Amino acid sequence: MANFELTREFLEDLKNTIDSKNEKLAAEKVADLHAADIAEIYDELDIDEARFLHLLLDDEKGADVLVELEEDVRESFLKNLPAETIARQFIEQMDSDDAADIISELPQDVKDEVLSKINDVEQAGDIVDLLNYPEDTAGGLMAKELVAVKMNWNILTSIREIRKQAEEVDDIYNVYVVDDDNILKGIISIKKLLLIPTSESISTIYDPDIISVKVDTPDEEVANIMDKYDLVSIPVVDSIGRLVGRITIDDVVDVIREEAEKDYQMASGISGDVEPSDNVWVLTRARIPWLLIGLFGGILSALVMGQYEGDIMKYAGLALFVPLINAMAGNVGVQSSAIVVQGLANNSLGLETLSKKLFKELSVGFTNGIICSTIIFAYNFFMSDSYSLTITVSIALFSVILFASVFGTFIPLALNRFKIDPALATGPFITTINDITGLFIYLFIGRIMFTII
């Protein structure tokens, strides 16, 4: 069934069917559904219901569903299943990249047992190879399944070979051309393959201008390359240029989504990959670290203000604008750091030097500072009876905006230089530091102004 949408009615109905153990009717209800839709249904079922349903699927569909599940759902689904079932019914039906991903999630002892139960030794070998690569590299993303021809083959041999190899590969986007040592030499598009006359030979029709990645290329960089060059698949080579695998765009779309979500969550003060459907404890655990940073920052702020308690007692007006200074320091810092973090993530920083970037940020801060401090000056000029306060708030706001701009730009760039994820510098972290520094600047200027004016 195309374009399925999971409704509460459908789910109720399916649950009732499962609870009444009506295998035939339950199987019918999900028979035409795509594996991704069935996986979505498992999210809403309890584990026994999901297993009941799973037994009604054929092996291939069952394996596809397993691949589509959220990691935590899959974990509880596979728990206590015999290694033989996992190997024969699930892993053997999967592409090597999915198989390796799922096996890597298993506990060490189950992992080895499952690998030993795989009938096809070549497949087991491919999976073991893939397990060696770190998850966040091209090697960790790639599948071993691909279609390749030798440079010196003629077209008829090649087409026969392509047909044979194609049976093992889910989707074919390109045919790769290698030499006798399996060194990647070029590419033939499917389109060209459809259009060539059979009298040609591979060496005359292939395109040697090929974009590839190395096994150790970081996944974010793979994503940037595929996005930039609008590629649907990209070949992966080892350190001496031998073709070892292929990455397809669907896996890269997941990388792009996850990266963007991670940065967004980090900026919002949420750690770990959480979803609204996660339980209370997971959600709490993802949020408490940043709240503790905020709490700690708040205590530091109280200590800073404590140093100026005398001034605050004398000029209570001073306290009134603490929230304003705080808010502006936080906002400006987050803005500045977000632009840098995003630029680093999608490689759009351009060729500007660090000093040019800081100077530009300083100019933006200067402009915004002038605008905001003029407005607050005008407001206090008419509304407050203390000139000292009016001048203090304006000058402090201007200084705080300038400081927060430069600081918000500098910190993520510095973290990046030291190979620390710059997204760490966004959200609560930068807000907290800017809050405290801004407060200090404000109260310090206040003390001077109230003394001299």
- Chain residues 14-43 in contact with a second copy, contact rule CB under 8 A: 32, 34, 36, 43
In residues, how long is the chain? 453
Q: Outline where DSSP puts E strands in 88-192.
A: 148-150, 174-178, 184-189
Closer residue to a second copy (CB): 107 or 306 = 306
We find the least distance from the C-beta atom of residue 171 to a second copy, in angstroms, to be 7
| Number of residues counted as binding a second copy (CB under 8 A) | 126
Closer residue to a second copy (CB): 41 or 118 = 41
- Is residue 321 at the binding interface for a second copy, with CB under 8 A as the rule? yes
Distance between CA 56 and CA 79 in Å, rounded?
Answer: 19
Closer residue to a second copy (CB): 47 or 299 = 299
Per-residue interface string for the shown chain with a second copy, residues 277-296, x marking contact by CB under 8 A: x--x--xx--xx-xxx-xx-
- Is residue 54 at the binding interface for a second copy, with CB under 8 A as the rule? no
118, 92 in Cβ contact below 8 A? yes
Per-residue interface string for the shown chain with a second copy, residues 168-187, x marking contact by CB under 8 A: -xxxxx--------------
Distance between CA 237 and CA 139 in Å, rounded?
Answer: 9
Distance between CA 444 and CA 337 in Å, rounded?
Answer: 26
Residues 336-355 that bind a second copy (CB under 8 A): 337-340, 342-343, 346, 348-352
- Is residue 446 at the binding interface for a second copy, with CB under 8 A as the rule? no
Pick the binder of a second copy from 265, 390, 392, 394 (CB under 8 A).
265
Residues 227-256 that bind a second copy (CB under 8 A): 227-232, 249-250, 253-254, 256
Closer residue to a second copy (CB): 121 or 351 = 351
Residues 89-128 that bind a second copy (CB under 8 A): none
Burial of 387-409, coded b for 16+ CB within 10 Å and e otherwise, reads ebbbbbbbbbbbbbbbbbbbbbb
The residues, ordered by sequence, that sit 6+ positions from 404 with a Cβ below 8 Å of its Cβ are: 328, 329, 330, 332, 333, 336, 365, 434, 437, 438
Closer residue to a second copy (CB): 50 or 118 = 50
Pick the binder of a second copy from 47, 156, 211, 378 (CB under 8 A).
211
Task: From residue 415, give the alpha-carbon distance in Å to each of 263, 290, 332, 341.
Answer: 14, 18, 19, 10
Position 412, amino acid: P
Distance between CA 411 and CA 157 in Å, rounded?
Answer: 58
